[in-house]
Chain A
């Protein structure tokens, strides 16, 4: 049961081979026995999940089930879910029981999916290793002394260890794609504005985008179909006609299913900086794509080298503004002792935020402060346009861009925790995609020394259906995504 795709699970539920209550209980039992090793979940609430499963069973009995009805899904703890602890991995929100549902949570509930639990994450999604969580680090199911990546590390570890059929993540600078790469998963960051940010705790509002973390492109398409759509409540949500993201995958295909597809290979993705054992597998994947009929073309992203610098200005600036709301007044942590209002703010924030979050708030406050705004923030936004322009030019010559997702495989716990700059460079291949607002995926493409390697696919705006198909055709011919870590079956 735990190796079945979402589509197969939906069939099993529709044919009464298994009930949603049984399926949910199966995963709750797996979480109880295996999660103590991984720490992938922050909250599990069997009563609540099983109640939702019973409702799903009633709906299925009436023949009113959809593709996700009755299927348990793990939600990153960044999404507000009514009556659930919604901590965002922070002490600041360690007492925050959300009074409302995020749009993503509501959409899954309307589809009849079961909320299986809330997954661990880097504090306020700031991190690439899941080590900044107030709830402790998550371990990688492929090697327990390694990180699962971040910030959606709990979701990634949970899907990889089969402690849920699929999960959600959010991606501000690579937080879906990098953990997908490090845990042998398929992850998609949609075009900015496709999935509502309402009720998704904000880190950097102009970059944050939610998406699916699952085992295959087919599963990601099913999840995106539930997640995507215009939302009046998110002022940056895009009002576009609905679409079926699985339509290209469902189309018939011959022996050369990707004939005519032009894959752009940016030389900036293939220079030094990427570990040779990772690059070998990326080269092999390119050969795999040629066998499927695709052609390759060299493209150039000359400003990509500036993306990390521009990102840490823009993301930190937006974070310092977004996180100003955590003041110990209306919700969240308040320091026990203070003499006046300023001391209450200062201590609540000093005690409620962890070191990395505080660093980014300070960087952001500095770059937005009087006299520095033009030199840092506006300069970063200008570079952002140059980077977006590079992609626009590249997409005149190709349909998708391909490269590594991460320069390394999963690194050891603690290896980069004390060196923020080294940690930031872990996202060197993913950040530019967020700055440009493009859709990007990571799919499994093999193993180096027993650890998974991820292949990144980047599409032009709103080409998620094609991107998912490009991922699917590769997975069909090269089923690396079917490999599961031992010790969790």
Chain B
């Protein structure tokens, strides 16, 4: 299997990574090398084998949906102090809705 330049551009868009045409060409070569390594997996017959997601086959532990931390408003200031841009307790991004 071989990827196309168009597929690389599409995956980069899905991953929200801006990519120039020159980079896309270079990336295509590297990805094809990686996929040629991955391909050897395809020949293996795994019919009837249950996929393994977790080493101990445990289900996710659940807990009450309530905050564990106290002083949440103070924590918000602490967390927003390291944000690129905030205002009145909100994270600012470029306008999304006109």
What residues of chain A have their CB less than 8 Å away from a CB belonging to chain B? 95-97, 99, 191-193, 206, 232-233, 235-236, 238, 303, 305-306, 308-310, 312-313, 320, 324, 327-332, 334, 338-347, 349-350, 353, 358-359, 361-363, 365-366, 369, 375-376, 378-386, 388, 419-421, 424, 436-438, 461
Distance in Å: Cβ of B11 to nearest Cβ of chain A: 5
Residues of B with C-beta under 8 A to A358: 17, 27
Provide the bound-state CA to CA distance between A349 and B19, in Å. Answer: 10
Inter-subunit contact A310/B41 (CB<8 Å): yes
> What is the interface of chain A mostly: helix, strand, loop, or mixed?
helix
Provide the bound-state CA to CA distance between A89 and B93, in Å. Answer: 26
Inter-subunit contact B58/A236 (CB<8 Å): yes
Inter-subunit contact A328/B84 (CB<8 Å): yes
Inter-subunit contact A420/B34 (CB<8 Å): yes
Inter-subunit contact A192/B55 (CB<8 Å): yes
**Which 5 pairs across A and B sit closest by C-beta, in order of nearness?**
A437-B55, A381-B51, A346-B18, A382-B46, A385-B52
Name the CB-closest residue of A to B85. Answer: A334
A-B contact count (CB 8 A): 164
Inter-subunit contact A206/B54 (CB<8 Å): yes
Residues of B with C-beta under 8 A to A436: 55
Contact of A327 among B16, B42, B51, B81 (CB under 8 A): B16
Inter-subunit contact A193/B46 (CB<8 Å): no
Name the CB-closest residue of B to A100. Answer: B78
Provide the bound-state CA to CA distance between A246 and B51, in Å. Answer: 35
Contact with A along B29-58 (1 / 0, CB 8 A): 011011111111110101001111111101
Provide the bound-state CA to CA distance between A347 and B19, in Å. Answer: 9
Inter-subunit contact B46/A386 (CB<8 Å): yes
Contact of A382 among B16, B30, B52, B79 (CB under 8 A): B52
Name the CB-closest residue of A to B12. Answer: A362
Residues of A with C-beta under 8 A to B58: 193, 236, 238
16 chain-A/chain-B pairs, Cβ below 8 angstroms: A95-B82, A96-B82, A99-B81, A193-B56, A306-B41, A320-B15, A331-B79, A342-B16, A344-B94, A350-B18, A362-B27, A363-B31, A379-B41, A382-B50, A383-B41, A421-B37
